């Protein structure tokens, strides 16, 4: 695999020893296949970030750790790498640790390995559970600042949160739902990927609060733990539709929207209003096809830029500033979609 990068740079990017990287690159054997994949992934990351590698300035190695569906982590990677050149004269290098689902102990293991290996900062999207909070505490004790992305861990030692006001986003979804359903009868399906992500809990609370105040006659039917993955989401939605013939609208808090729409179609049911989150590649297509009513979106590039600034402030590379304000909540319809790719 041809590349212009020194072994020490590849080793730093992969979080491995130079000897291990040398064995992989020269085919000497004695290395697990998963380790070899990490080396090649590090080279690919360096290749995308090569404009940063050649800059002269203070270098920050930042780890991005996220538990989320691939469609979201792809958007995160693209948004961060698009922002890297704008952070000049600082040089921000990034290592990615993405997983769609899995036991909490594996996520905690990733965070603990970063704490042992060292990092200038961690940008984290993770469930709000005690084990993760404790792992963030260990990172903080090791001098590694943690910035939470999209979903917060307020009881942890994190230095900041970047993302939208999730309760306000849920209230916005309820307002749109009420306006578009009007006086038509019908219950609303609310769909969470997991009850352990604080952002989803806050969106659901904001949604329920407004619906209860403005539309108390309309029943809300909740499903959860689909992890935003199509395979599990389809079964949950289909079961809910079969049990409740009155469901006519969806507020999708946690994703899996292809599967949700397929379940409606397979049962011959109409989805009159469908409000979702994040203009990822799936939702962009569904919105263009008028299969979603609206997407509540926020600028991931802005969020990741602010996250990098928080890391720099922690290390004294930027002057202190006040708390980061929530990102703007954008209501995107088929008629005001961005002309450039989302992210």
List of residues 6+ apart from 44 with CB closer than 8 A = none
Condensed to tens digits (0 to 9), the pLDDT of residues 97-153 reads 999 988 999 999 999 999 999 999 999 999 999 999 999 999 999 999 999 999 999
Question: How many whole angstroms separate alpha carbon 67 and alpha carbon 226?
Answer: 13
Say whether pLDDT at 51 is over 70. no
Residue 53: pLDDT band with limits 50, 70, 90: very low
Helix (H) or strand (E) holding 271: none
User: How many CB atoms are located within 10 Å of the residue 260 CB?
Assistant: 28
Nearest to 278 by CA among 129, 78, 92, 106: 78
pTM, two decimal places: 0.81
User: How many CB atoms are located within 10 Å of the residue 270 CB?
Assistant: 10
Nearest to 147 by CA among 85, 225, 94: 94
- Structure confidence at residue 329 (pLDDT): 97
Condensed to tens digits (0 to 9), the pLDDT of residues 153-209 reads 999 999 999 999 999 999 999 999 999 999 999 999 999 998 899 999 999 999 999
- Structure confidence at residue 3 (pLDDT): 66
Residue 37: pLDDT band with limits 50, 70, 90: confident
H-assigned helices in 142-253: 166-181, 198-214, 230-243
- Structure confidence at residue 111 (pLDDT): 98
Question: How many whole angstroms separate alpha carbon 73 and alpha carbon 320?
Answer: 29
Question: How many whole angstroms separate alpha carbon 91 and alpha carbon 54?
Answer: 9
Residue 54: pLDDT band with limits 50, 70, 90: very low
Question: How many whole angstroms separate alpha carbon 296 and alpha carbon 275?
Answer: 8
**Residue that has been written with the tokens 């990034």 in this structure:** 94
Question: How many whole angstroms separate alpha carbon 243 and alpha carbon 8?
Answer: 59
- Structure confidence at residue 4 (pLDDT): 67
Say whether pLDDT at 84 is over 80. yes
Q: Is the peptide bond before 212 cis (omega within 30 degrees of 0)?
A: no
Condensed to tens digits (0 to 9), the pLDDT of residues 133-146 reads 999 999 999 999 99
Nearest to 126 by CA among 159, 104, 157: 104
Residue 319: pLDDT band with limits 50, 70, 90: confident
Structure tokens at 111: 């965070």
Question: How many whole angstroms separate alpha carbon 141 and alpha carbon 115?
Answer: 9
The 330-332 sheet, strands edge to edge:
220-223, 187-191, 247-252, 273-277, 294-297, 330-332
Report how far Cα 225 is from the mean position of its chain's Cα atoms.
16
**Main-chain dihedrals φ then ψ at residue 327, nearest 5 degrees:** -70, 155
- Structure confidence at residue 125 (pLDDT): 97
- Structure confidence at residue 42 (pLDDT): 83
Question: How many whole angstroms separate alpha carbon 144 and alpha carbon 129?
Answer: 20
Structure tokens at 330: 């954008």
Cα-Cα-Cα-Cα dihedral of 142, 147, 150, 152, to 10°? 60
Q: Do 298 and 163 form a contact (C-beta atoms < 8 A)?
A: yes
- Which residues, listed in sequence order, are joined to residue 51 by a DSSP beta bridge? none
- Structure confidence at residue 322 (pLDDT): 83
User: How many CB atoms are located within 10 Å of the residue 180 CB?
Assistant: 15
By DSSP bridging, strand 330-332 and strand 294-297 are antiparallel
């Amino acid at each position: 695999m041809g590349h212009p990068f020194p072994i020490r740079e590849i080793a730093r990017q992969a979080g491995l020893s130079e000897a291990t990287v040398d064995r992989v690159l020269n085919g000497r054997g004695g290395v697990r296949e998963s380790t070899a994949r990490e080396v090649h992934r590090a080279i690919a990351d360096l290749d995308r970030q090569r404009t940063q590698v050649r800059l002269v300035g203070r270098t920050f190695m930042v780890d991005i750790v996220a538990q989320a569906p691939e469609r979201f982590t792809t958007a995160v990677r693209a948004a961060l790498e698009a922002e890297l050149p704008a952070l000049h004269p600082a040089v921000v290098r990034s290592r990615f640790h993405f997983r769609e689902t899995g036991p909490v102990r594996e996520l905690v293991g990733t965070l603990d390995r970063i704490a042992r290996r060292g990092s200038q900062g961690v940008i984290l999207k993770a469930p709000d559970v005690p084990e993760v909070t404790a792992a963030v505490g260990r990172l903080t004790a090791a001098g590694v600042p943690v910035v939470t992305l999209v979903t917060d861990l307020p009881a942890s030692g994190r230095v900041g949160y970047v993302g939208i006001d999730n309760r306000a986003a849920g209230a916005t979804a309820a307002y749109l739902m009420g306006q578009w359903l009007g006086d038509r009868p019908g219950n609303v399906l609310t769909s969470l990927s997991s009850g352990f992500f604080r952002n989803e809990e806050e969106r659901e609370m904001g949604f329920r609060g407004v619906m209860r105040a403005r539309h108390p006659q309309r029943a809300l039917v909740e499903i959860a733990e689909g992890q935003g993955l199509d395979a599990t989401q389809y079964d949950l939605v289909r079961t809910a539709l079969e049990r409740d013939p009155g469901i006519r609208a969806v507020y999708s808090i946690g994703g899996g929207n292809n599967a949700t729409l397929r379940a409606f179609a397979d049962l011959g049911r109409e989805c009159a209003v469908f409000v979702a989150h994040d203009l990822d590649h799936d939702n962009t297509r569904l919105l263009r096809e008028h299969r979603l009513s609206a997407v509540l979106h926020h600028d991931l590039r802005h969020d990741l830029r602010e996250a990098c600034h928080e890391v720099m402030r922690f290390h004294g590379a930027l002057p202190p500033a006040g708390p980061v304000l929530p990102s703007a909540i954008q209501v995107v319809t088929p008629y005001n979609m961005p002309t450039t790719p989302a992210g």
